Amino acid sequence: MSDSTATSAPTPSTPGETSPGAVRLRVAPSPTGDPHVGTAYMAMFDLAFARQQGGKFVLRIEDTDRARFQADSEQQIFDTLHWLDLNWDEGPDVGGPYAPYRQSERLDTYKPYVDKLIDEGKAYYCYCTSERLAEMRELQQKQKLPTGYDRMCYGKSREERAAEPGFSENPVVRMFIPDDAPLVFDDLIRGEVKAPRPDDQVIMKADGFPTYHLAVVVDDHEMGITHVVRGEEWISSTPKHILLYQGLGLEPPKFAHMPLLRDEKKAKISKRKSPWARLTWFKEQGYLPEALLNFLALLGYPPIIEADGTEREVFTFEEFSENFEWSKVNTVGPIFNLDKLNWLNGHYIRELEPRDFAARILPFLVADGVLPEQPSLPQLGRLNLVAELIQTRINLLSEATPLVAPFFTDDAELPIADDARAQLKETAAQVLDAAIAALEPISGSLGKPDGTGIEWVHERIEAALREAVVDGLGIKPKFAFGPLRTAVSGQRISPPLFESMEILGKHSTMERLKNLRASL
């Protein structure tokens, strides 16, 4: 980067035309690993307000941190936000009137703004080495002084600074913070906010890449962003950004600083400490996107109040967007309660149409080896039947595998879980013998072409087994069918027994009863 002072700075480009009063909001994640759940949290509030106001929602990739950049992270951002149906109007993958939407592709954009600030004395070159800055901070800490740049380079030419210790050939650019820097601003959520006075921040690094503080101001201006929604940790940076807007003669956007998501210890959530801070984790565990959005909304926003005054915690994104008001956003950092999310997810699972539910658990069954990638029509038909049995019994899609697997396992290879075998009573052999004898006379045929004449149905199966085991052996229903459940599913807990037998068919049911009996 050249350190010569230009005689006249290039005129920064002007943002494209937007409709009068049209709102434009953006989410701007960095591709530095698995997307953070906070990205979805912010994007949801952005999109809700943009849709309510008939505005635009923009995705911008802030990839100027090349040391932490990960090539596959950008695609993960696309995939997870699309999974949540938080779809953008403009972005790197869809284009738009303010392209490019990756900061690394906009490097030529920032230098005219930097030159303007330098020419007007609102920014300056800093030649200090990292070693010199470290020594400065150490001394400030020892003397219990406020930490911050001491302006050693301010007002000095390259030659003057080179004559002093700790000189670097490759300078950075720092913004100059005047004594009357604005420290108070209006926040859409919090009202009037006062932030601490910043020091002279670096706005362009020695490699020519802008820092976040400069890039976010320039990009938000050039992309016509009207509302900036971000976490409350950025409150302390807002005076720097407002000062940059003022120094460049630009109109600042409106700011809304959201409460931080916190873990059970009330600490800011992090991917290092909490696996669920990764946005991909929710998809892997089997959460429904609509349940996760509902949950995230409740973290920062109150339930919907019905006409009779009651609260309703279950609502759609459309309802959230329609009723959205910034003044209702919570200002206290909410605790990320997974029990609440699991309850919500279970509710949404039970509300699905059975075939939709079957389609949603299918990828998990394929991943776990229960079904092939291209299931046959008979396999899909059986899955639809099994799905109806288990839909009310799980809170996560990933919990379907142990319940579904027995229906797609060869009879001779069905494993009997240790806890299921351990709970078998002394009467297990007697129960199995009675059940086999009772079921043998029932026809396992499919009946007539018109669907009549089918005997192997759960009502007939249940009646026969109750007569043989409960009435015939005098065993209480609570204990009567445990051995049959273990034989059919291999598990201590399984889908409804008689319906499971109907789906398996007579041949498989009888084989499994006999196999367990032979092992006792």
Say which residues have a Cβ less than 8 Å from residue 437's Cβ, sequence separation at least 6: 468
What's the one-letter identity of residue 227? H
Contacts for 228 with CB less than 8 Å, ≥ 6 apart = 25, 26, 220, 253, 254, 255, 256
| Nearest by Cα to 124 from 98, 165, 156 | 156
Which residues, including other chains, have CB under 8 Å from residue 306's CB and lie 6 or more apart? 312
Letter for the amino acid at 253?
Answer: P
Separation between Cα atoms, residue 353 and residue 358, nearest integer Å: 9
How far is residue 217's CA from residue 212's CA, in Å, rounded to a whole number?
8
Q: Which two tokens stand for residue 518?
A: 């032979």
Q: Which structure tokens are listed for 178?
A: 């005047």
- Asked if 271 is an active-site residue, the reply is yes
What is the CA angle 398-297-275, rounded to 5?
45
DSSP code, position 301: S
Helix (H) or strand (E) holding 320: helix 317-322
**Annotated binding residue 271:** yes
Question: How distant is the alpha carbon of residue 322 from its chain centre?
Answer: 22
135, with CB counted inside 10 A (0-12, 13-18, 19+), is: middle
* Contacts for 257 with CB less than 8 Å, ≥ 6 apart: 187, 189, 190, 193, 230, 231, 232, 234, 235, 238
Indicate which residue of 156, 254, 271, 340 is catalytic. Answer: 271
Contacts of 309 (CB under 8 A, 6+ apart): none
Residue 280: closest CA among 80, 82, 84: 80
Annotated binding site for ATP: 271
Annotated binding site: 271
Active site residues: 271
